[in-house]
Structure 1
Amino acid sequence: MPTYEYHCPACDATYELRQGFDAPTTHPCEECGKGTAKRVLHAPPIVFKGSGWYITDSRNKLSAVNDSESSGSEATVGSASESTGEAAAAS
């Protein structure tokens, strides 16, 4: 069962309760009994482990791939235009 943090705006108390996932998000304050305590949401911590998460990890690989793709596509376009030029000259 997870532990949730609750905050009561009436008495400014903050406390934790261990409840199930289906527990309501509001309930009467356990400190003062007058206010309505609401569940406080926190962003979960995220840890990126391994390579490939930073731009510097893949910069050399990407630039090499982009260079080979661009030179390969230019060679294909150039050879296609040369072959059509030769075919027109032969006619």
Structure 2
Amino acid sequence: MPTYDYACDSCGNRFEVFQKMSDQPVNTCPSCGKAVRRVLSGGVGISFKGSGFYKNDSAPSCGNSTACAKASCGADK
């Protein structure tokens, strides 16, 4: 379930709500009961798993030259 951030312009309260994407947005502030607005959050939950995501995972051990890369993959054979 995604997390949505809301802000109240009346009292300044900021809060998060775990909701289904099909749920209606929150309309009232839990602190003061006035209208709230949904705000964009900067936190994105992306998780890279497995090998090959870092430079040192797939780099050839003898350097970064084209000849070295061909030799390590067996292209010259």
Q: TM-score, normalised by structure 1?
A: 0.47
Residues 1:48 and 2:45 are matched in the alignment: no
The answer for the alignment partner of 1:28 in structure 2 is 28
**Structure 1, 60-69 or 29-38: larger mean CA deviation:** 60-69
**C-alpha distance in structure 2 between counterparts of 1:42 and 1:56, whole Å:** 28
Quote how far apart the aligned CAs of 1:53 are: 0.9
Cα RMSD over matched residues? 3.4
1:1-91 correspondence runs (5 A): 4-38=4-38, 40-60=40-60, 63-65=68-70
- Structure 1 residues not aligned, in runs of 5+: 73-91
Structure showing greater radius of gyration is 1
Aligned residue pairs total 71
Higher relative contact order (CA 8 A, sep 6+): 2
Identity of aligned residues (%): 33
Quote how far apart the aligned CAs of 1:11 are: 0.6
Residues 3 and 57 of structure 1: is their aligned pair in 2 closer, same or farther, counting only changes over 3 Å? Answer: closer
Structure with more helix by fraction? 1
Q: Where has structure 1 moved over 4 Å in runs of 4 or more?
A: 66-69
1:55 partner letter: K
Q: TM-score, normalised by structure 2?
A: 0.52
- Structure 2 residues not aligned, in runs of 5+: none
Residues 48 and 6 of structure 1: is their aligned pair in 2 closer, same or farther, counting only changes over 3 Å? Answer: same
